[in-house]
Chain A
């Protein structure tokens, strides 16, 4: 069965520092991979997605993610964090051809001024 693990529940970084949020998935083949962001009181917004091809994916708001098949990982990165990036981030996996999105439990990012 598919599963998604986000090992870090909370992460705190200083504004301007780099960021990496971890995501590991379990699936027999190459799944579709997504990162969503949720601001307080809001729904989830898509940051980026990976289907195939180039393993480094660029998203909105300066985020990128790299798919590493050997590690079953899809980590999210940003070179310089802004205070407005404080939110909760969700990794999700989907089986090609279905609408079964499985979400991780999320990582809450706090940004220090």
Chain B
């Protein structure tokens, strides 16, 4: 299995631009998560989906952030407009199972976003 695939690996953009991060979960996994990692705040859960439906988006910091999962094999996290404080590493993770303990999270390699 190829694992969770994220693209791009690195993204540098100017403040005010739209940024789209992409994720392909492991085939067959029915949960998908977006996390943000910064030195100051550590690893934060932004949103997660179950069977392509957003379940909890309480971690999404502002209306500038949006996430979609149009099908079981693809998800996007969009920031519009981007700001320098959005600079971070964004991880996508997927898992299989219903209860938290039954299936661990499988992480992608992340997208390092730099907003200048």
Binding site for B on A (CB under 8 A): 32, 34, 36, 41-46, 49, 51, 90, 94-101, 103-106
Ordered by A's residue number, 28 sampled pairs between the chains whose C-beta atoms are within 8 Å are A32-B101, A34-B104, A41-B110, A43-B93, A43-B109, A44-B91, A44-B93, A44-B107, A45-B107, A46-B105, A49-B101, A90-B43, A94-B101, A95-B100, A96-B99, A96-B101, A97-B100, A99-B31, A99-B48, A99-B55, A99-B56, A99-B95, A99-B100, A100-B56, A101-B100, A103-B42, A105-B42, A106-B42
Interface residues on B, range: 20 to 34
Residues of A within 8 A of B4 (CB): 43
Instruction: Write the B74-113 contact mask toward A (1 if CB under 8 angstroms, else 0).
Output: 0000000000000000010101000111001101111000
Please, which residues of chain A bring their CB within 8 A of the CB of B101? 32, 49, 51, 94, 96
